[in-house]
């Protein structure tokens, strides 16, 4: 099924524009616009409902889409569910920012979320008789690592915290997660990995460190929109090499 066979959902109205089987998912819709205009050939807008911009274009002759998802697991849950179950997307690559939790990780370092711990209740709706492991597609992870190695980009691979909480009243939370080897904190991987697992499709979260939860270093909002190009190049070259 593709977007030409389905007119619209309440949140995505492509108006006949195809949504590719592989999509990049930044949280910020303006980052999606920047990626489309900077990296894609012949980008066409397929969504602007609620300002959540989505585009389809080509990279190295292959169709690829990019769309914002907003902040947090509920927002990612809605968009990724519709992209997977209504528009037939098969490969979902989240490209976002994160807060580092380990001292050896620096601003602008890349993190591949092999797995994710979470404090979200999103998985409870499946009524599973236990806890479900939130893990990336090994195929996508392997491709991303190969591209990063070819470009000599520094990458950390491991577990992240996918949290529903941005301003945490528990001041000890960061230390507790860091002691368990968590590399960084972000907010969207929980629902992305659950929706992908439930539908049998592939997902991977690629992150750029925008701030450090131990040293309190930060990047600016402008840098987050335009300067995080390495993770975009990795995601697009995964598409181009497939």
DSSP-derived pairing of the beta strands 155-162 and 110-118:
parallel
Q: Is 186 annotated to bind ligand?
A: yes
Q: Is 3 annotated to bind ligand?
A: no
Integer Cα distance of 20 and 90 in angstroms: 9
Query: Is 25 in contact with 222 (CB distance < 8 Å)?
Result: no
Q: Is 187 annotated to bind ligand?
A: yes
Query: Is 83 in contact with 12 (CB distance < 8 Å)?
Result: yes
Q: Is 211 annotated to bind ligand?
A: yes
Q: Is 67 annotated to bind ligand?
A: no
Q: Is 96 annotated to bind ligand?
A: yes
Q: Is 162 annotated to bind ligand?
A: no
As annotated, the active-site residues are 211
Q: Is 124 annotated to bind ligand?
A: no
Hey, is 50 helix, strand or coil? Answer: helix
Integer Cα distance of 27 and 236 in angstroms: 17
Q: Is 198 annotated to bind ligand?
A: no
**225, burial (CB in 10 Å: exposed 0-12, middle 13-18, buried 19+):** middle
> Treating both helix axes as pointing N-terminal to C-terminal, what angle do 73-85 and 189-199 enclose, rounded to 10 degrees?
30
Q: Is 242 annotated to bind ligand?
A: no
Q: Is 150 annotated to bind ligand?
A: no
Hey, is 48 helix, strand or coil? Answer: coil
Q: Is 58 annotated to bind ligand?
A: no
Give the dihedral sign, CA 54/72/22/40: positive
| CB-based contacts of 167, cutoff 8 Å, min separation 6 | none
Q: Is 142 annotated to bind ligand?
A: no
Eight-state DSSP code of residue 150: H
The angle subtended at Cα 203 by Cα 4 and Cα 140, nearest 5°, is 110
Q: Which residues are annotated as a binding site?
A: 11, 27, 31, 50, 94-97, 186-188, 210-211
Q: Which residues are annotated as a binding site for phosphate?
A: 27, 31, 50, 94-97
Q: Which residues are annotated as a binding site for a purine D-ribonucleoside?
A: 11, 186-188, 210-211
């Amino acid at each position: 099924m593709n977007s030409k066979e389905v007119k619209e959902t309440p949140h995505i109205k492509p108006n006949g524009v195809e949504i590719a089987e592989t999509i990049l998912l930044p949280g910020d819709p303006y980052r999606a616009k920047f990626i489309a205009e900077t990296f894609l050939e012949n980008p066409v807008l397929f969504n602007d409902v609620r300002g959540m911009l989505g585009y389809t274009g080509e990279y190295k002759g292959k169709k690829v889409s990019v769309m914002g998802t907003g902040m947090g697991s509920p927002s990612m849950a809605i968009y990724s569910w519709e992209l997977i179950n209504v528009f037939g997307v098969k490969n979902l690559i989240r490209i976002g920012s994160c807060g580092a939790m380990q001292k050896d990780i620096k601003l602008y370092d890349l993190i591949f979320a092999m797995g994710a711990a979470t404090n979200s209740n999103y998985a409870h709706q499946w009524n599973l008789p236990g806890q479900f492991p939130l893990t990336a597609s090994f195929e996508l992870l392997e491709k991303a690592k190969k591209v990063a190695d070819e470009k000599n980009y520094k990458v950390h691979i491991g577990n992240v915290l996918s949290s529903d909480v941005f301003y945490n009243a528990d001041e000890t939370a960061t230390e507790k997660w860091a002691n368990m080897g968590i590399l960084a904190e972000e907010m969207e991987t929980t629902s992305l990995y659950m929706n992908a697992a439930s539908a049998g499709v592939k997902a991977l979260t690629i992150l750029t460190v925008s701030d450090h939860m131990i040293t309190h270093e930060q990047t600016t909002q402008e840098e987050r929109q335009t300067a995080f190009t390495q993770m975009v190049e990795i995601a697009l070259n995964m598409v181009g090499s497939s």
